[in-house]
Structure 1
Amino acid sequence: MAFANAGQIIDAGAKVIHIGKNTTSRVISKSLSK
């Protein structure tokens, strides 16, 4: 989750590392700007 005020820029990234074989991920990102 990321929050920003006026004049700010949101750069909210994500990184997922898979250790096991045949695995998948879903990244859900939420942002709020004012």
Structure 2
Amino acid sequence: MADFADELLKIASEQKGPKRGKKVKSRASVVLE
């Protein structure tokens, strides 16, 4: 759960950093799958 929560935090940061957002989405997709 900790890792998942960390991903959510990164996704929130995505709004501030679109560049990192792409990487976050890719990692989030892997986690969901």
Q: Normalising by structure 1, report the TM-score.
A: 0.20
The structure that is helix-richer by fraction is: 2
If you compute each CA radius of gyration, which structure gives the higher value, 1 or 2? 1
> 1 or 2 for the larger relative contact order (CA 8 Å, sep ≥6)?
1
The structure that is strand-richer by fraction is: 1
